Amino acid sequence: MVKAVVFDLDGTLIDSVRAHAMAWLKAFNHLGYEGVKYEVLINMIGLPGYEIIRRLFGNGALTKYREFKKIKDEVYIKLLKEGYITIYPDVIPTLRTLRALGLKLGLASSTPSKTLSIVLRRFRLNGLFDAVIPGDKVSKGKPHPEIFIKAFKELNVLPTSGCVVGDSPYDIKPAKEMGCIAILVTHGARKEVKPPPDYVINEVSELIELIPKLGIDPY
């Protein structure tokens, strides 16, 4: 029986993965770290920022993490305000329906608190989640399950009574480790994720039919 659903944000609820990649590339180039391939970077979005930098440039580059992050966040917010980032059209109606079914909803995002607050306000997502865990509120980022464990704890629901919905292996892997139902949302893209998710959906709205089939234990 499902009591709660915890969502990833970027690439799951909002179309923002390309904007994150563009913002990181701007930061890297500004600080002289050129030559990063877009197609390599795009597959890292969803990881915490320090892990992206470590994987691309090694541990030594982490001394400049704050400089990277400051520029990246500024560029990302600029792209947000210019309309380069959008919310998938079915998201808000789906979240409202799931809440009406008696499910608790959580958000677990690698995005830090300040930026996440702006994004939630921009897309009128405030008030739709019973727990919101930003990336800077955990010591170990995705794919470590800490951020999801914290979300379920705040919801007062065991992970084994919940679903995790995300768009990348950085969501599916921790979900499987916790014993959650792991649901991959593709938005029409072809994705091969290991370990494989329990369910694959094209759009978030498909949860409205899927989750009742799994059984709902309303709070």
Q: Which of 8, 73, 130, 171 is catalytic?
A: 8
Rounded Cα distance, 148 and 182, in Å: 12
Tokens, residue 176 = 């499987």
Active site (annotated) includes residue 8: yes
Contact between 103 and 1 under an 8 Å Cβ cutoff? The reply is no
For residue 197, the 8-state DSSP code is P
Give CA separation, 27 vs 15, 64, 81, 189, in Å.
20, 11, 18, 27
Give CA separation, 33 vs 41, 55, 72, 197, in Å.
13, 13, 13, 35
Contact between 158 and 2 under an 8 Å Cβ cutoff? The reply is no
Contact between 13 and 7 under an 8 Å Cβ cutoff? The reply is yes
Cα R_g (the chain), whole angstroms: 17
- Where in the sequence numbering do the catalytic residues fall? 8
